[in-house]
Chains A and B, each alone.
Chain A
Amino acid sequence: MANKTDSNTYTVLFAIGMVLVVGSLLAFSASVFNPQISLNKKLEKQQNILFSMGINEATLTNDEADVNTFVPAKEVTGIFKKYIKEQLVIEGDKVTPDSLAYLIDLKKETEKAKDPNYQRKLPVFIGEKDNEKFYIIPVRGAGLWDAIWGYIALSEDLRTVKGAYFDHKGETPGLGANIKEPYFYNDFKGEELFDGDQFKGITVAKGNADPKNLDKSDHEVDAIAGATITGNGVTAMIKKDLAMYLPFFNSLKNRVN
């Protein structure tokens, strides 16, 4: 046995056989599971968008303990239709309604936007809850290890953050991964984005003098200890991605005026 498995021919044949078996096994399972996986991802986007504007399990159950749970995936499509009144795609000066705007892949858009001739598609979701209007903007950036993304719900005057939700692909558990914990994203609630007419964004600040986050006009939230790079990524992603929407915000304000 030992002699046989040591020969070069056997080694090469084994390698080829192994690659064929494992390759087809992985390809097969990927194609079997993919429809279900992409459906899950689609529903999750809807859950995230609703969550950022404050629609969660507690909206359905009226139980305070459920505020940090998404609405159930099975019911999310109906709830999404009920609360998200409009989905818009901004392309330069053109704004078109598109009921599938939430499926726009920000990663692909960022890639395509490297070509200066490409007009980037910017999705915006308009939600309404208890007669209050929210503008929800998706953001995407880079953390320490991999992509981070999130949804920022803005007030009707587009100056104040009403809610935020962040997620990540591979930040360090216990450190950077905590951007998806309530104590972090809830700090964004009520923060001002503008200083006068100047767009400031929101900085995830280390050692700021306001750990309880009482000052909502300092454009700062308290950082996570041991997760500086992830925090900087959140800061950069909010500044960069929201800045792309400024012309749209201005056009909305002008229309109101």
Chain B
Amino acid sequence: MAEVAEQEEKVKVPKEPLFSKKNRKLITDPLTDNNPITIQVLGICSALAITAQLKASIVMAVSVLFVLGVGNVVISLMRNIIPSKIRIIVQLIVVASLVIIVDLVLKAFAYELSKELSVFIGLIITNCIIMGRFEAFALGNGPWKSFLDGIGNAAGYGLILVIVGFFRELLGSGTLLGIPVLGDPIEKTGLYAFGYENNGFMLLSPMALIVVGLIIWVQRSRNKALIED
């Protein structure tokens, strides 16, 4: 909460409640009408790469939530001293060092967890959603707003990841979170007894693109205002 006080002191804006309508919109918009993946087209690469299983999608969503929330605040606090000529490099350094320090701490004190996360580290640093929000929002807004924007966008990103991961794992492997839900494909029990087969194509990246495409289609057909010319 100290951040808010600091921001108000600096910018001298009239007092605004912590969760004003405008601030709430920062969180809810990216979940629906300004979704980072389906509308802003940010973070597509990782959405394709790691959604073959639901668990990986969830882990990635939580990691990005953390990094984007904290990163946005750090960049926002630095926004008035960052030279505009090298701002992209500065953003890259901030996110890379944040992720490395978190990785070191996890390796030292939560080794098992860090092994689960290790493959995501590189994916987080290169995730364009992070750079995208730094550039588009945190450089021009106060820390509290930036924090909300980070959380909101990461949640919107995570929502799509979880939806895609759900369908890819269910249709591709017949499991959810690694637990078989459709029966045993080798023993031919459950759904497989009726001749159902897993669609191995769902496990490959192109299907993630198609699932994301379907989500975009559904979303735009429900809200015509989102359709561009």
Q: A29-B101, A175-B52, A211-B186 are in contact. Are A14 and B81 (CB under 8 A)?
A: yes
In the complex, the number of residue pairs spanning A and B with C-beta atoms less than 8 Å apart equals: 89
Instruction: Verify A10–B83 contact, CB threshold 8 A.
Output: yes
Interface size on B, residues (CB 8 A): 39
User: Is A36 close to B, CB under 8 A?
Assistant: yes
User: Is B109 close to A, CB under 8 A?
Assistant: yes
User: Is B200 close to A, CB under 8 A?
Assistant: yes
Chain A contacts of B100 at CB under 8 A? 26
Q: B83: nearest residue on chain A (CB-CB)?
A: A11
User: Is A60 close to B, CB under 8 A?
Assistant: no
Instruction: Verify B82–A26 contact, CB threshold 8 A.
Output: no
User: Is B93 close to A, CB under 8 A?
Assistant: yes
Chain B contacts of A170 at CB under 8 A? 118-119, 122
Nearest CB on A from B81, distance (A) = 7
Q: A169-B118, A174-B56 are in contact. Are A11 and B86 (CB under 8 A)?
A: yes
Instruction: Verify B108–A226 contact, CB threshold 8 A.
Output: no
Instruction: Verify B81–A5 contact, CB threshold 8 A.
Output: yes
Nearest CB on A from B148, distance (A) = 25
Nearest CB on A from B122, distance (A) = 7
Instruction: Verify A25–B97 contact, CB threshold 8 A.
Output: yes
Chain B contacts of A243 at CB under 8 A? none
Chain A contacts of B105 at CB under 8 A? 29, 33
Chain B contacts of A130 at CB under 8 A? none
Instruction: Verify B85–A226 contact, CB threshold 8 A.
Output: no
User: Is A104 close to B, CB under 8 A?
Assistant: no
Query: Which secondary structure dominates chain A's binding surface?
Result: helix
User: Is B182 close to A, CB under 8 A?
Assistant: no
Instruction: Verify B119–A15 contact, CB threshold 8 A.
Output: no
Q: Which of B59, B83, B97, B172 has the most CB of A within 10 A?
A: B83
Instruction: Verify B119–A14 contact, CB threshold 8 A.
Output: no
* Bound-state Cα–Cα, A29 to B119, Å: 21
Chain A contacts of B80 at CB under 8 A? 1, 5
User: Is B53 close to A, CB under 8 A?
Assistant: yes
Q: A172-B49, A173-B53, A212-B186 are in contact. Are A14 and B97 (CB under 8 A)?
A: no
Chain B contacts of A15 at CB under 8 A? 83, 86, 89
Q: Which of A15-51 contact B (CB under 8 A)?
A: 15, 18, 22, 25-26, 29-30, 33, 36-37, 40, 44
Instruction: Verify B86–A226 contact, CB threshold 8 A.
Output: no
Q: A145: nearest residue on chain B (CB-CB)?
A: B119
Option from B50, B107, B119 in Cβ contact (under 8 Å) with A37 = B107
20 other contacts beyond A15-B89, A33-B107, with CB at 8 A cut-off? A5-B80, A5-B84, A6-B85, A14-B81, A14-B82, A15-B83, A22-B97, A26-B101, A29-B105, A30-B104, A44-B111, A169-B119, A172-B52, A172-B119, A173-B119, A174-B52, A174-B53, A174-B203, A177-B56, A181-B178
